[in-house]
A and B are shown apart, each in its own frame.
Chain A
Amino acid sequence: MTYLADVGALARKDLLLELRSRDTLPAMLLFVVSTLVVFNFSLPADASPRAAYGLLWVAIVFTAILGLTRAFAAEREQRVLDGLVLAPCDRSAIWLGKGIAVLAFLALAEVVALPAFALFFQPVTWELVAGVALANVGLAAVGTLLAAMAAASRARELLLPLLFLPLVIPIVVGGVGASIADDPGRYLAFLVLYDVIFAILSWASFEYVVTE
């Protein structure tokens, strides 16, 4: 219960910080909508649904990167992460609290992105919504770990996409597959498996990322 209370306090703090500073979410919303508008004009009228779904996933992944580059900005500014690391709470609670906040920002961005996608490209199906929801968990889990790693580096803006993009290729494969395949269940199960494996790996390794 104490662990969950720590996670709750840390996640609540991140949501409060965003509510006050409005640094991340407006940028993510603007980016994802702008990207879909640009894709709308760049995609030929006779393009296949596969291409449209592919572009949606590109927009989602890059929107996630945009949010993740800011994920540890508040901690970096005043070295607050040192203060959190010194606290007696389990350090994985820092990852989980931050991951929940990242997940919330991604979900809010998609609440805007999916209707925009339906407007410009294809109808939004339950398979797509399920795929996006499952992908968010994986994106937040892996992304939060890598954002913490990158935050310690001077080349963080460069490092995060370089580490993040190769690791989320399976999410794009699973997400696009779930959106267009006749049997989306296999791809959704694949996304669940990815989420479980990478969430456990990130949870267990976070301590080593934030300490020397």
Chain B
Amino acid sequence: MIRARGLGRSFGATRVLRDLDLDVAERDFLLVTGPNGSGKSTLLGLCAGLLAPTAGELEVAVERGRIGYLAHEPLVYLELTALENLDLYGRLYRIPERRERSGMLLERFGLWEARHQRVAAYSRGMTQRLALCRALLHEPDLLLLDEPFAALDEAGAAVLDAELAELAGERTLVLATHEPERVAALATRRLALA
């Protein structure tokens, strides 16, 4: 599903990723680790198609609309409510049963009671939960998760653990984290960036 050969990415004079070869098959779970600045987020941005490689080749055999992407930022509007944000994305992703799907995800991630609150009033952890709902809304074939456990409390992390366990083996996952032990049992492949 993902194939990279000699993949590299620079920002100006700074080379973040260099000469990376990578193969991720359908339904693989790739765990990406590495210290800060090693290029984990850059790799996910490249796989999402938000960044272009500056060296090498990258093929991602998934349609744009079938990718779920969780970034450092939540990619949601702060002045809209959780429900309004998910409804907007649901429309753009052409999800016919978007209200039911939004409601189900909000309930699962413990945001149902706060669904009519503006995101600006959310805590960092609640915003991260909403970002996860957004990334999962359209049941993507390829899920790219950048530090998904960041800011989550234990209850939120447990929900995410359960969600990942459900998705592992059914979807293709690429997960970058500083807490590899949390998902190590689910991962089928590992990539350690230096």
Q: Closest approach, in angstroms, between the C-beta of B73 and any C-beta of chain A?
A: 4
Which of A61-69, A82-90, A117-125 forms part of the interface with chain B?
A82-90
**Which residues of A have CB within 8 Å of B63?**
88
Q: Contact between A17 and B80 (Cβ–Cβ < 8 Å)?
A: yes
**Which residues of B have CB within 8 Å of A86?**
48-50, 64-65, 67, 69
Q: Whole-angstrom distance between the alpha carbons of A16 and B67 in the complex?
A: 27
Which of B21-29, B88-96, B102-110, B171-179 forms part of the interface with chain A?
B88-96
Please tell me if B115 contacts chain A, counting CB pairs below 8 Å.
Answer: no
Tell me whether chain B's interface is mostly helix, strand or loop, or mixed. loop
**Which residues of A have CB within 8 Å of B91?**
5-6, 9
User: Which of A77, A79, A83, A212 gathers most chain B CB within 10 Å?
Assistant: A83
Q: Contact between A78 and B80 (Cβ–Cβ < 8 Å)?
A: no
Q: How large is the interface on A (under 10, 10 to 19, 20 to 34, 35 or more residues)?
A: 20 to 34
**Which residues of A have CB within 8 Å of B78?**
74, 77-78
Please tell me if B74 contacts chain A, counting CB pairs below 8 Å.
Answer: yes
Q: Contact between A212 and B51 (Cβ–Cβ < 8 Å)?
A: yes
Question: Which listed residue, B67, B74, B118, touches A20 by the CB 8 Å rule?
Answer: B118
Q: Closest approach, in angstroms, between the C-beta of A193 and any C-beta of chain B?
A: 33
Q: What 3 pairs across the A-B complex have the smallest Cβ distances?
A: A88-B65, A83-B75, A87-B92
Interface residues of B (CB under 8 A from A): 48-52, 63-65, 67, 69, 71, 73-80, 84, 88-89, 91-94, 118, 134
